[in-house]
């Protein structure tokens, strides 16, 4: 089985209203903002968003009215604290929140990938997270008698991943911080991959150990340069720190968010036009190259 190589708008049109999507899986690295903005342009709503540190992505989706439920460890602006659109939506009862730690999100997705109903942990014991998440269950280790917490499995409808490169068939090279991409991809019913570039299959085969996602896991693959801006993509571009600070200032109110979105989301036809608004040089000027790897035949 191979993935569908499609334009971004076509690939995103496969995501239905009411879907559960996992994104921001590589923590602050390679966040799939281009997909998030296309979801807003297409008016997809009632989404349940799942992730560890989604940075601005979930805040933007919430500000655009696309989200009904959040299952996450943190939502906000790493450069400036809280996400105003997230905070206001919670205070007004517009979204529900299932609170997690980074580790419990990872465990929930790993359980989904393994096909088991839950995975146990001790890491949540002694915390107050049970006051904000009634899905966690306290239990006793049947072998040692020690207390445990059971984290129920999560199986998203979609995992959304941005990567450095992919083949037209959907085999993906991803390097740098990958966070919890692997369990999320394993748990999801569908996987949408956006890549900085689509390359010939021979490029992927030349470094088979670099393949993080295989074609049989991918529903759609999209060539989408700059698709993770303002987050960084290892080897491609740096983090746009100024963007984060400007977003914080501009989106403190709902009207401010609408003004921001009218330019950056609804005022562009796609990522190529979006890139023309970025006035910061994010080029990597001192690349660090890994040592050559020899493969024999």
102 and 143 within one domain? no
In a domain, 283, yes or no: no
What percent of the chain lies above the pLDDT cut of 70? 100
Is residue 1 scored above 80 in pLDDT?
no
Is residue 297 scored above 80 in pLDDT?
no
Q: How does pLDDT run across 42-97, given as a tens digit for each residue?
A: 999 999 999 998 789 999 999 999 999 999 998 988 888 889 999 999 999 999 99
Domain count, the chain: 2
In a domain, 284, yes or no: no
Determine the pLDDT at residue 130. 82
In a domain, 297, yes or no: no
Q: How far apart are CA 17 and CA 296, in angstroms?
A: 48
Determine the pLDDT at residue 145. 93
Over range 126-138, report the average pLDDT.
86
Q: How does pLDDT run across 22-35, given as a tens digit for each residue?
A: 999 999 999 999 99
206 and 106 within one domain? yes
Q: How does pLDDT run across 181-224, given as a tens digit for each residue?
A: 999 999 999 999 999 999 999 999 999 899 999 999 999 999 99
Determine the pLDDT at residue 117. 97
Determine the pLDDT at residue 182. 97
130 and 207 within one domain? no
Q: How far apart are CA 153 and CA 85, in angstroms?
A: 28
Is residue 275 scored above 80 in pLDDT?
yes
Q: Are 188 and 220 in contact (CB under 8 A)?
A: no
260 and 142 within one domain? no
220 and 135 within one domain? no
Q: In this structure, what CATH number is given to the domain that contains residue 54?
A: 3.40.1080.10
139 and 113 within one domain? no
Domain interval for residue 46: 4-117+154-275
Determine the pLDDT at residue 294. 83
What percent of the chain lies above the pLDDT cut of 90? 82
Determine the pLDDT at residue 224. 97
Determine the pLDDT at residue 47. 98
In a domain, 247, yes or no: yes
In a domain, 291, yes or no: no
More confident residue, 270 or 186: 186
Determine the pLDDT at residue 134. 86
Q: Are 52 and 22 in contact (CB under 8 A)?
A: no
Q: Give the number of residues written for the chain.
A: 297
Determine the pLDDT at residue 172. 98
133 and 43 within one domain? no
Q: Are 101 and 73 in contact (CB under 8 A)?
A: yes
147 and 261 within one domain? no
Q: How far apart are CA 64 and CA 234, in angstroms?
A: 28
């Amino acid at each position: 089985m191979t993935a569908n190589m499609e334009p971004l708008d076509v690939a995103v049109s496969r995501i239905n209203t009411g879907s559960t999507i996992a994104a921001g899986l590589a923590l602050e690295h390679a966040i799939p903002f281009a997909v998030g903005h296309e979801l807003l342009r297409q008016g997809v709503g009632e989404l349940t968003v799942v992730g560890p540190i989604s940075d601005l992505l979930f805040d933007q989706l919430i500000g655009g009215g696309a989200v009904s439920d959040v299952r996450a460890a943190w939502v906000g602006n790493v450069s400036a604290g809280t996400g105003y659109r997230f905070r206001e939506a919670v205070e007004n009862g517009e979204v529900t929140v299932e609170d997690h730690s980074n580790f419990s999100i990872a465990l929930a997705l790993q359980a989904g990938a393994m096909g088991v109903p839950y995975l146990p942990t001790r890491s949540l014991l002694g915390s107050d997270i049970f006051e904000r998440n009634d899905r966690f269950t306290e239990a006793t280790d049947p072998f040692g008698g020690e207390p445990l917490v059971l984290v129920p499995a999560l199986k998203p409808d979609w995992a959304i991943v941005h990567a450095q490169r992919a083949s037209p068939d959907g085999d993906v090279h991803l390097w740098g911080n990958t966070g919890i991409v692997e369990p999320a991809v394993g748990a999801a019913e569908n996987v949408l991959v956006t890549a900085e570039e689509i390359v010939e299959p021979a490029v992927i085969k030349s470094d088979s150990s670099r393949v993080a996602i295989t074609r049989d896991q991918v529903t759609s693959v999209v060539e989408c340069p700059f698709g993770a801006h303002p987050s960084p993509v290892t080897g491609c571009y740096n983090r746009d720190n100024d963007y984060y600070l400007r977003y914080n200032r501009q989106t403190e109110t709902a009207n401010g968010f609408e003004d921001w979105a009218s330019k950056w989301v609804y005022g562009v036809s796609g990522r190529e036009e979006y890139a023309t608004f970025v006035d910061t040089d994010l080029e990597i000027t001192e690349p660090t190259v890994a040592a050559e790897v020899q493969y024999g035949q």
